[in-house]
Copies of this chain bind each other. A is one copy, B any other.
Amino acid sequence: MANRTAIAAKTVELLNAMRAARPLVHNIANYVSMDIAANALLAIGASPAMVHAREEVAEFVAIAGALVINIGTLSASWVDSMKLAAEAAGRNAKPWVLDPVGAGATRLRTDTVKALLPHRPSIIRGNASEIMAVAGGAGAAPKGVDSANTTEEALAFAVSLAKHQRCTVIATGAVDIVTDGERVVKLANGSPVMAKVTALGCALSAVTGAFAAICPDPFDASVAAVGVYGIAGELAAAATTRPGSYRVAFLDMLETVGPENVTASLKVTD
């Protein structure tokens, strides 16, 4: 387990660097999350763009700081664009984040994730069951795991997937896990109220892209994004727990959250 002080210091450094750079984050997002993801990126200090046409995604990836692909509301033509964009990210050495929404729920989702993984995402962010589904589909399910119910199981899948893909994996839940297959950090910030607002997981993937854009190590970028986001979630939950009000407060806190909050509140757990 890495040192809490060192993690907090790195997170503060990356938050400051990201806000100074104001990176352009190219999202191929889902229809539900576009509004909140764009607003979350603006609030935390990055610059969002939502671009999905096959005729322009490759061109746009080249001018963006990072790419975020979210498979929430798929259709065949969007899958084509996702592949082209992921390929362009590789060609241009841009970091990219995969959010495998609903992986495992339908064949289309499983197949889309399979088609995207060879393009080597820098970071994969999902909830526990999505990460387990992606790991299983990639042939990276750890041995001897039969049930999908515990955090420890999600952890094993996340580590195995990260090793297999040589990427960073974020599995979010009550405790958020970040791993690159070697290192593991568990963060316990956030609030159950976050689940009352749609697409806050998708918006975290977008925010992770903002940190990846300015940090050569996707693992450090992921830890920083998850930590800052969770602390903003806690600050908002201290203000309100109602779903409509919470969405407003959360965006406010993404702007407000600062180095002093990270230093005081980052919860690294075992």
Name A residues whose Cβ lies closer than 8 Å to a Cβ of B: 30-32, 34-36, 38-39, 42-43, 48-56, 59-60, 63, 72-77, 102, 105-109, 195-199, 242-245, 247-252, 254-256
A190 → chain B, closest Cβ, in Å? 17
Residues of B near A76 (CB, < 8 A) are 53-55
Main secondary structure of the interface of A (DSSP, over half): helix
Q: Is the CB of B42 within 8 A of A196?
A: yes
A189 → chain B, closest Cβ, in Å? 19
Residues of B near A49 (CB, < 8 A) are 102
Beyond A55-B74, A59-B108, A243-B255, list 20 extra A-B contacts (CB 8 Å).
A32-B35, A35-B36, A35-B198, A35-B199, A39-B198, A43-B243, A50-B72, A52-B75, A53-B73, A53-B76, A55-B76, A55-B108, A56-B107, A59-B106, A59-B107, A244-B247, A244-B250, A245-B252, A247-B251, A248-B248
